[in-house]
């Protein structure tokens, strides 16, 4: 079973306002990300992506071997629209001020000067070409993480649209049951309880959502209740952090049944940084590659 995440810009802004009321300390960060997420949803409406075709034969091999439909490097993207979004994201960063402003200006100037092009940036992200990010960041004297942030956030609408198109190939009657994304093989970035308490995992890369067992660590397949724990705060009943003593990793969980607001997973992800801090203090590691 799978389900796509569709939400309007208006709903994102409403979710931002609800979260700001609940957690005023996140005001600035929520405003910032709210604008980025709205820009991404707007951009998604303008995308032109030819759906990836997978033959019946390939599909049955993948299903038999529990392989994801594609790997990260195979995502179909709209590089032109991602490039437009990159400029818009740089503009949002500029207006927000803070540490990333000079980084973004440097990236824009470097692109204008032809030091590298956006296509190369996006391809390097999809190919996990760490050397490109390492060298480019060094050459431009910027943070590698900031360069990856800009590249990933510009590509995110393409990734989620491509994942939505591909999800038509997934067998709706056969639960995936794995801890990695059935679309792209990445680790989940967030977990959710919905409906009657069914658990879903959300891909940390393409944001595809898939059904999962409740008692299960997606990072090491642990199902032993003795080594699977969680913590939560009385003040924030809609969140909990699932901890695995098998692999010492954690995943944040949003219990949508306990939240009276629109749930937009990327926003919940950034509004819970205090939980990441707490889990890391408890010596657990995040399983996410891209944040």
- Positions that interact with Zn ion (CB under 5 A): 181, 183-184, 186, 203, 205-206, 208, 217, 219-220, 222, 244, 246-247
In angstroms, what is the minimal distance from the CB of 187 to Zn ion?
A: 9
Q: What residue ranges in the chain does DSSP mark as E strands?
A: 2-3, 188-194, 198-203, 209-212, 228-233, 236-244, 249-255, 285-286
Q: Would you say 39 or 202 has its CB closer to Zn ion?
A: 202
Q: Which is nearer to Zn ion, 83 or 246 (CB)?
A: 246
Q: Which is nearer to Zn ion, 242 or 268 (CB)?
A: 242
- For the record, the structure tokens of 60 come out as 């049955």
How would DSSP label each residue in 149-187? HHHHHHHHHHHHHHHHHHGGGS-TTS----SS-TTT-PP
Query: How far apart are CB 123 and Zn ion at their closest, in Å?
Result: 18
Other beta carbons within 10 angstroms of residue 210's beta carbon come to: 23
CA-to-CA dists, residue 130 to 103, 110, 228, 280, 281, angstroms: 18, 19, 33, 25, 28
Helices (H) and strands (E) in the chain, counts: 10, 8
Minimum distance from residue 159 beta carbon to Zn ion (Å): 8
Length of the chain: 291
* Shortest separation between residue 88's beta carbon and Zn ion, angstroms: 24
State the nearest-atom distance from the C-beta of 180 to Zn ion, in Å: 8
Q: Which is nearer to Zn ion, 106 or 229 (CB)?
A: 229
Residue among 238 and 268 whose Cβ is closer to Zn ion: 268
Q: Which of 143, 137, 264 is nearest to 207 (CA)?
A: 264
CA dihedral 270, 287, 176, 155 (to 10 degrees): 50
Task: Between 190 and 203, name the residue whose CB sits nearer to Zn ion.
Answer: 203
Distance CA 2, CA 208 (A): 8
Q: How far is the CB of 182 from Zn ion (least distance, A)?
A: 8
Least separation in angstroms between residue 197's CB and Zn ion is 21
**Of 186 and 272, which has the nearer Cβ to Zn ion?**
186
- Least distance (Å) from Zn ion to the CB of residue 188? 9
Round to whole Å and give the CA distance between 55 and 276. Answer: 41
Nearest Cα residue to 85 out of 152, 148, 1: 152
Query: Of 135 and 165, which CB lies nearer to Zn ion in the complex structure?
Result: 165
């Amino acid at each position: 079973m799978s389900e796509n995440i569709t939400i309007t810009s208006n709903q994102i802004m409403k979710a931002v306002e609800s979260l700001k009321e609940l957690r005023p300390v996140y005001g600035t960060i929520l405003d910032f990300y709210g604008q980025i997420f709205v820009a991404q949803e707007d951009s998604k409406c303008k995308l032109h992506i030819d759906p990836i075709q997978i033959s019946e034969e390939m599909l049955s091999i993948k299903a038999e071997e529990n392989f994801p439909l594609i790997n990260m490097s195979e995502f179909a993207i709209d590089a032109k629209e991602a490039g437009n979004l990159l400029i818009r994201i740089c503009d949002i960063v500029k207006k927000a001020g803070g540490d990333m402003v000079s980084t973004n200006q440097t990236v824009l100037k470097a692109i204008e000067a032809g030091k590298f092009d956006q296509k190369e940036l996006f391809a390097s992200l999809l190919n996990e070409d760490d050397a490109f990010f390492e060298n480019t960041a060094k050459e431009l004297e910027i943070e590698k993480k900031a360069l990856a942030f800009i590249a990933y956030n510009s590509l995110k609408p393409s990734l989620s649209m491509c994942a939505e198109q591909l999800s038509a190939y997934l067998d709706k009657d056969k639960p995936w049951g794995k801890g990695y994304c059935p679309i792209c093989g990445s680790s989940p970035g967030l977990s959710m309880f919905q409906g009657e308490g069914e658990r879903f995992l959300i891909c940390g890369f393409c944001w595809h959502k898939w059904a999962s067992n409740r008692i299960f660590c997606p990072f090491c397949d642990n199902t032993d209740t003795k080594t699977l724990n969680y913590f939560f705060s009385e003040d924030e009943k809609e969140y909990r952090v699932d901890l695995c003593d098998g692999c010492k990793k954690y995943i944040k969980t949003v219990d949508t049944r306990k939240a009276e607001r629109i749930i937009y997973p990327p926003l919940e992800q950034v509004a819970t940084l205090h939980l990441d801090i707490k889990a890391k203090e408890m010596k657990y590691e995040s399983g996410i590659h891209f944040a």
